[in-house]
Amino acid sequence: MVVKHNESIYFDRILYKQNVAGSIAFAQSNAKADILTLEEFEKLEQSLRENSMAGVPERGLVLETLQWDAMFMQHISRWIEDLIIYSAAEFGLVHYQQYPVHLSSAKTKAALDPFMLATDIADYLVRKRVSFRETHHISGRYVAKSKETSIPMNELSFEQLRATDSRFEEDIAEAYVYQTTVERRSAKGGTSKSSVLEQINKFRLLRQR
Q: What are the structural domains, with CATH classification, of the chain?
A: 114-176 (1.10.40.30)
153: alpha, beta or left? (left if phi > 0; alpha if psi -120 to 50): alpha
Nearest to 113 by CA among 147, 141, 162: 147
In a 10 Å sphere around its CB, with 0-12 CB exposed, 13-18 middle and 19+ buried, how is residue 2 labelled? exposed
Highest mean pLDDT: which range of 96-105, 107-116, 178-187: 178-187
pLDDT digits (tens, 9 = 90+) for 5-49: 566 666 565 555 544 444 555 566 556 666 667 777 677 666 666
Tell me: the pLDDT tens digits for 48-83?
665 555 555 556 666 777 888 888 888 888 888 877
Alpha-carbon gap, residue 2 to 19, rounded angstroms: 26
> Would you say the pTM of this structure is higher than 0.85?
no
